[in-house]
Amino acid sequence: MTNRRIARRASAAAAPLLAVGLLAGCAEELPVPEPEPAVVGAVVTEEQEKTIISRVAESVETATKGRKTGALEERMAGPALTVRTSQIEVARKIKSDEQVTNLPMSMQSVMLPSDPEWPRTSLAVSTQPKDLTAPVLYAFEQRSARSDYKLWAWARLLPGVTLPQFASTDTGTEEVAADDGESLTMSPARAVAAYADVLSEEDDSKFAKRIEDDDFRDLMRKQESAQKKADGWKKSEGKYSFSATADEDEGVQAMRTVDGGAIVLGAINSSQVIQLQDKAEAPPSDGFVTQKALFGDQDVTNVLRTKYLDVVALYVPPAGSDDKLRLVGFEHIAVSATNE
């Protein structure tokens, strides 16, 4: 006999005695216990996350060393898959892995999901590499209960940046919906789109006053300045343009910080175009190994277009805050170079 059945019988047996007491008017009102709050906790343990990351690292390393792009899909998705596929293709062409981003997966901290539903997201920050390069922020995703966790994106943290505090690994961290514009100053999806607009439009963007300046935007300004100072630029009537738009197909990943804000990772498609007068030539740069490999044996024309897949990691303040949205990390990887 089950405990549940025993409990039901005990309850039934006590019912007549309780009724008699009530009729006699001598029974006190029984206290009604308050329902206990639902237990909130991470749906993935630290030990499970360690195993997940170890399996992702092993799979990615094996596919990278073997230069097998097809094998990447086993443990990579989203922007990470696109970027790594391009990097391996470049590695094949130049017969070297020097342009392949190193992805250290020894972690100093992890942010575990608390939502039992799918898809699920977790974040992790790598330990400081021995060469003192910046730690890497990773986003992992599990699409369904029966699918494996995959590396969705990575972004190298800006020098000296300190991430906001997250909930403990026991409690777990809340995931934030892409369209949640109520709890934040800007929804995660809109934040990535706004940053892309500022990246390409600078002070002309309507979001310029809502986003802090940063190293990525400074890098883009320096690249434009260097190009315009190149030998023969004025003589060849050189024109330079840069544009960026959020990759809406890839979506975003966002997790809540203790202060009510969120760390958001999203993909941006950007394009740099160099155009010279008709008779001039704009070949890929000898110093830009990836660009030259992607360009391959195309005919050199007066146009050179380089496309990038950028991953940005943003801190979005909670609703009601006067703080600006700010970049905490990014990755800027060339994935295409063409003559038109």
DSSP 63-92: HHHTT-GGGGGGTB-HHHHHHHHHHHHHHH
- What are the average pLDDT values for consecutive 10-residue runs of the chain, which has 340 residues? 38 37 43 50 95 98 97 98 98 97 96 96 93 92 96 97 96 98 98 98 98 98 95 95 97 98 98 96 96 98 98 98 98 97
Buried b (16+ CB within 10 A) or exposed e, 301-318: bbbbbbbbbbbbbbbbbe
* pLDDT for the residue numbered 273: 98
User: Cα–Cα distance between 307 and 13 in angstroms, integer?
Assistant: 77
* pLDDT for the residue numbered 10: 38
* pLDDT for the residue numbered 132: 80
* pLDDT for the residue numbered 128: 87
Place of tokens 């003589």: 235
* pLDDT for the residue numbered 32: 52
User: Cα–Cα distance between 232 and 235 in angstroms, integer?
Assistant: 5
284's CB contacts (< 8 A; 6+ apart) are 291, 292, 294, 295, 304, 337
Q: Answer whether 90's CB lies under 8 Å from 99's CB.
A: yes
Q: Answer whether 313's CB lies under 8 Å from 264's CB.
A: yes
250 burial (CB, 10 Å; 0-12 / 13-18 / 19+) is buried
- Considering only CA atoms, which of 175, 62, 71, 162 is closest in space to residue 123? 175
Query: What is the CA angle 30-35-41, rounded to 5?
Result: 155
Question: Domain extents for the chain?
Answer: 46-338
User: Cα–Cα distance between 81 and 74 in angstroms, integer?
Assistant: 10
Number of continuous H segments (helices) and E segments (strands) in the chain? 6, 9
* pLDDT for the residue numbered 31: 53
* pLDDT for the residue numbered 131: 82
Q: Answer whether 182's CB lies under 8 Å from 307's CB.
A: no
Please state the pTM of the whole predicted model. Answer: 0.87
Distance of CA 33 to the CA centre of its chain: 44
